[in-house]
Amino acid sequence: MICDVAGRMGLLEILSWARPHDSSVERAFCREYLDRIPGMTADAFGNRMITIGANPRVLWSCHVDTVAARGGHQDVYIDEHGIARLLNGKSGMSLGADDGAGIWIMLNMIEAARPGLYVFHRGEEQGCLGSDWIRRNTPELLEDLGAAIAFDREGFGDVITHQMARRTCSDAFATSLAAALNRLDRGFRYAPDDTGVFTDTNEYAGIIPECTNLSVGYHGQHGPRETLDVAHCEKLLAALLRFDATSLVIERDPSVEEDDCWGWRGHRDDQAAFADAIAEYPTVAARMLAQCGMNIDDFQMAVWAEESGDDHYYRPLAVS
Ligand SMILES: [Zn+2]
């Protein structure tokens, strides 16, 4: 590999690039870090991908864009507790461990020649543009895979079973993945979690049997106070370098949409039904809003604006 992304220095280097979708910085990053890898290819949308091993069972997924308002270099550091942060973070900036952590893990797995189809998606933060493009235009890429596993989830222990309140992998798969990881690092507490918002693997849930998203150790994504627990990220990589995908249980039929989701699914545009569901599951709703980058101040501002009749206040929610 031309760019050395090994170790903490490599991780910090990736985090030092603020990469809004379709910016010159994002394109330069892809050229520097992805296109120099022998065997890496790009599709017509600019998603980068590489296959390692014959007929891999797993698609590993991350995204190259970050939510930064402007592209460029940013100063990052690791504090005395092993937490990566922005130095002088301001509004419009983010550490970009969402999803620099996923990129770093995947580049190191590639360097170690771990088997898999590795897809570096573009435009996830704009609504999963890259994965939507793949699903529509090159679905053959997704055939014959058993699982799609994204490294794009906050926290330390989630193996996501549902995204947008729709099941994307079986409990048996999530349990087998969590158990495999927990066996590889006795400090891990991975477990199935059904509160996923959405990321690229959600796009593939109608084609690939088991689609999930794994916690990689970041918190407070989409804002200047985003952090990354570097030790967790390193341990996850170490586990993945010894991970055996044949231990995964693949049992979900992607052509069948399981009817075990929240009650409001059939009424997405029905605000009253939505409000009822939120009243019934306030903690889930709060968690989803937080995952979308909204904090309590944002929420109270929005409530205040709504109640004062200020209809100019509108802040579109970004995705995970
Ligand atoms: Zn993300």
* DSSP codes of every residue in 37-78: STT-EE-TT--EEEEESSS-SEEEEEES----SS-EE--EEE
Whether 156 contacts 173, CB under 8 Å: no
pTM of the model: 0.82
C-alpha 163 to ligand 1 mean position (Å): 13
Q: Pick from 67, 72, 97: which is nearest to 84 by CA? A: 97
Q: What is the CA(320)–ligand 1 centre distance, in A?
A: 4
Distance 118 CA to ligand 1 centre (A): 16
pLDDT tens string, the chain, 320 residues long: the values are: 556 788 999 999 999 999 999 999 999 999 999 999 999 999 999 999 999 999 999 999 999 999 999 999 999 999 999 999 999 999 999 999 999 999 999 999 999 999 999 999 999 999 999 999 999 999 999 999 999 999 999 999 999 999 988 999 999 999 999 999 999 999 999 999 999 989 999 999 999 999 999 999 999 999 999 999 999 999 999 999 999 999 999 999 999 987 554 444 444 456 677 777 787 777 778 878 877 777 888 787 777 777 776 544 444 454 44
Into which CATH architecture does domain 7-247 fall? 3-Layer(aba) Sandwich (3.40)
Amino acid in position 268? R
Distance 51 CA to ligand 1 centre (A): 22
Pick from 62, 63, 90, 65: which is nearest to 75 by CA?
A: 90
Ligand 1: centre distance to CA 309 (Å): 33
Angstrom distance (rounded) from CA 247 to CA 175: 11
Domain locations in the chain as residue ranges: 7-247, 265-308
**Distance from the alpha carbon of residue 119 to the mean position of ligand 1, in angstroms:** 14
